[in-house]
């Protein structure tokens, strides 16, 4: 029997967790999430299975390490009947948030990949160790299955970009391979495909990816021109746990006091909304605003000003903007956030109405008031974009 639909396993390797998402084509058929818990003073790992119908089940077993959990994932997928001789894995996708020319492209993992990952641990100490662990376990557990690193900046590293450089000495740029590579590339790549498919393409568009991490990208004729994230996802907008752009001197001072790795961790994991409001859940922050909590209001207003300001910056650089797109969890679901941002942009020709629901049959909604420029809400699908690119990568070597 010929396996026509490709089957991919996508990995999300964190410092203390591992998520496995199994796809047939673009459809997620099952996911496994291993997370650490404390038990009798020791760390153990438990697994939750989520099936295509959304039902969750906690596996009645515990593991001592994520390495052990990784091997168990294969057993579970085979036991559930998702992987077998008739339906073998076509590839394993490892999303890579890492900077540099090499990581601005997708690759089938080889010795060169592992060497390049070692180099970028200096600038990406949070993400890279988990990525390396995931790759090594994947190659050991799923022998003879291609493992592919999927770049989080590939869709953004195009000749159309106008903001890729830093004003630093050339020898420093070259030594550390520095550049404004950007991130959330799988989301923006999907949007660059999806917007023309929906017949919504305008000359100057701004896409706001607002979720746990937040960024903004400007498109000219459907191609990336400017993006808010830089060498790492820390640059740009404040988000749930990230500072966003701050005076670089602060980073240097934190590095001197705590060490570079701890400083980077603090700015990525312990800052942003959670530092200001005590929560990284936008729904809780909005509730706090309604209850007149000063910290919540300060965090909310700073978040809104950041997004609106970045839209204004990119509009100025493009000489105007013809449409705005909101996507990702907050962008798609939070009417208060969208309305607050758009309320600052009426001078640019935008005004939102708050009673428009997403029409799933159309795949988008225009939440702009009549007579104003379009404001689109379009669901993103990062997995679909990575699967498409993984298929192209495999086809290129066959």
Strand (E) or helix (H) holding 382: helix 382-395
Domain 199-383 carries which CATH code?
3.30.420.40
pTM: 0.91
- Mean pLDDT across 263-279: 96
Which tens digit of pLDDT belongs to each residue from 15-53?
Answer: 678 889 999 988 899 999 998 888 888 888 999 999 988
Catalytically annotated residue among 53, 152, 359, 395: 152
Quote the pLDDT of residue 1. 32
Domains 7-151 and 199-383 agree in fold? yes
Highest mean pLDDT among 62-66, 140-144, 270-274: 270-274
Quote the pLDDT of residue 354. 75
- Mean pLDDT across 316-322: 98
Task: Give the E-state strand segments of 277-394 in sequence order.
Answer: 323-327, 365-366, 375-377
- Mean pLDDT across 297-318: 98
Active site residue 110: no
Q: Cα(386)–Cα(26) distance, rounded to whole angstroms?
A: 9
Domain 7-151 has CATH 3.30.720.200: no
- Per-domain residue ranges of the chain: 7-151, 199-383
- What phi-psi label fits residue 199: left (phi over 0), alpha (psi between -120 and 50 degrees) or beta? left
Q: For residue 23, what are its two tokens? A: 């796809």
Strand (E) or helix (H) holding 128: helix 128-141
């Amino acid at each position: 029997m010929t396996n026509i639909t490709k089957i991919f396993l996508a990995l999300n390797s964190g410092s203390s967790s591992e998520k496995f998402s199994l796809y047939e084509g673009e459809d997620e058929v099952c996911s496994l999430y291993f997370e650490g818990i404390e038990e009798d003073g020791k760390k153990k790992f438990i697994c939750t299975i989520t099936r295509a119908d959304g039902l969750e089940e906690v596996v009645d077993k515990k593991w001592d390490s994520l390495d052990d959990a990784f091997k168990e994932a294969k057993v579970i997928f085979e036991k559930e009947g998702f992987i077998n001789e008739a339906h073998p894995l076509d590839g394993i996708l490892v999303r890579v948030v890492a900077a540099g020319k090499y990581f601005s492209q997708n690759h089938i993992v080889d010795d060169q990949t592992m060497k390049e990952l070692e180099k970028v641990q200096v600038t990406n100490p949070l993400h890279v160790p988990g990525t390396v662990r995931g790759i090594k376990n994947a190659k050991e557990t799923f022998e003879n299955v291609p493992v592919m690193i999927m770049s989080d900046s590939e869709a953004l590293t195009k000749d159309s970009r106008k903001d890729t450089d830093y004003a630093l000495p050339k020898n420093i740029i070259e030594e550390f391979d520095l550049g404004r590579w950007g991130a959330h590339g799988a989301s923006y790549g999907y949007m660059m495909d999806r917007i023309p498919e929906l017949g919504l393409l305008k000359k100057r568009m701004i896409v706001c990816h607002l979720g746990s991490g937040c960024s903004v990208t400007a498109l000219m004729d459907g191609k990336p021109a400017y993006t808010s994230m830089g060498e790492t996802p820390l640059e740009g907008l404040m988000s749930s746990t990230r500072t966003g752009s701050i005076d670089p001197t602060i980073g240097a001072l934190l590095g001197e006091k705590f060490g570079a790795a701890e400083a980077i961790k603090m700015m990525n994991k312990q800052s942003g909304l959670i530092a200001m409001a005590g929560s990284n859940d936008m729904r809780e922050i909005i509730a706090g605003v309604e209850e007149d909590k000063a910290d919540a209001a300060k965090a909310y207003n700073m978040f809104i000003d950041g997004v609106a300001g970045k839209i204004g910056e990119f509009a100025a650089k493009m000489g105007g903007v013809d449409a705005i797109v909101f996507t990702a969890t907050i962008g798609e679901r939070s009417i208060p956030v969208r309305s607050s941002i758009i309320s600052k942009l009426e001078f640019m020709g935008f005004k939102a109405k708050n009673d428009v629901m997403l029409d799933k049959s159309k795949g988008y909604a225009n939440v702009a008031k009549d007579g104003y420029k379009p404001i689109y809400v379009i669901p993103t699908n990062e997995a679909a974009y990575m699967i498409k690119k993984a298929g192209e990568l495999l086809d290129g070597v066959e």
